[in-house]
Amino acid sequence: MVSVSVILPTYNEADNIIPLIEEILTYIPLESEIIVVDDDSPDRTWEAVEAFGQKESRVRLLRRIGRKGLTSALQEGINWSKGRYIFWMDCDFSMPPDKIPVLLQALEDHDIAMASRYISGGEEKGHSPLGSFLSRVICSLASRVLSPAIKDYTSGYIGLRREVLQTLPLRGDYGEYFIELIYKAYQRGYRIKEIPYRCLPRRSGESKTATDLWGYLKKGRKYLATIVRLRFGSV
């Protein structure tokens, strides 16, 4: 039986993906799998993963052609996965793989374990000063409007028991999916543990979040709309 499934959604991460996979493999049990969900990257990320998977059976590739988007990629990876515990994270080394064992240990008596930048011991260094500031604003607002029990509403680095995702499918286009997932999980009484971590600058390549104020505002608008809908509208 597969113990842990780690889902890695990729788009143009050819320089990062194999070193990341190799590091993750040192931190997960032998009876685990890594599922790379690639949106047909122009830099041929999928090709590097395909070649690596020929010599490492725990690595599986789902190459999506004609389909794009972070949330749908994660959901397809979840649907493909076999593990009792399901993890996902960014593929640029901003989220250190050495936190996986800590999160996995927390799942022994919690339903969800999420890496958090905004509790004691955590730090946000993975984005530009503007991006880091806006991330703090969004998470602070969500914590005030939805529930102060959660601090990092846009973490994106998480491990869950499979049964949680059987009742809470992911919705959204980008990072706003995490706000809805974690708030609904809290509302339904799932046991949630936040583990501090330092979010680091990406090792190689370009950020998929945003590169300027207009980009941040476009994505931030969706985050704000999700917060308002969850608090005042139909969930």
Helix (H, G, I), strand (E, B) or coil at 31: coil
Mean pLDDT of 102-128: 95
* Count of all residues that appear for the chain in the document: 235
Strand order in the sheet with 32-38: 59-63, 32-38, 4-10, 85-88, 158-161, 112-116, 192-196
Give me the amino acid identity at 142. Answer: A
CA 95 to mean position of chain CA atoms? 9
Question: Which positions ≥6 away from 53 have C-beta within 8 Å?
Answer: 59, 60, 61
Domain range annotation of the chain: 4-232
* Phi, psi of 188, rounded to the nearest 5 degrees: -85, 0
- Sign for the pseudo-dihedral over CA of 174, 178, 181, 187: negative
Q: Is the pTM of this model over 0.75?
A: yes
User: Between 3.90.550.10, 3.30.70.141, 3.40.640.10, 3.30.420.40, what CATH number should domain 4-232 receive?
Assistant: 3.90.550.10
Is residue 88's pLDDT more than 60? yes
- Under DSSP, the state recorded for 97 is G
CA distance 77 to 86: 10
For 148-191, the pLDDT digits (tens) are: 999 999 999 999 999 999 999 999 888 899 999 999 999 999 99
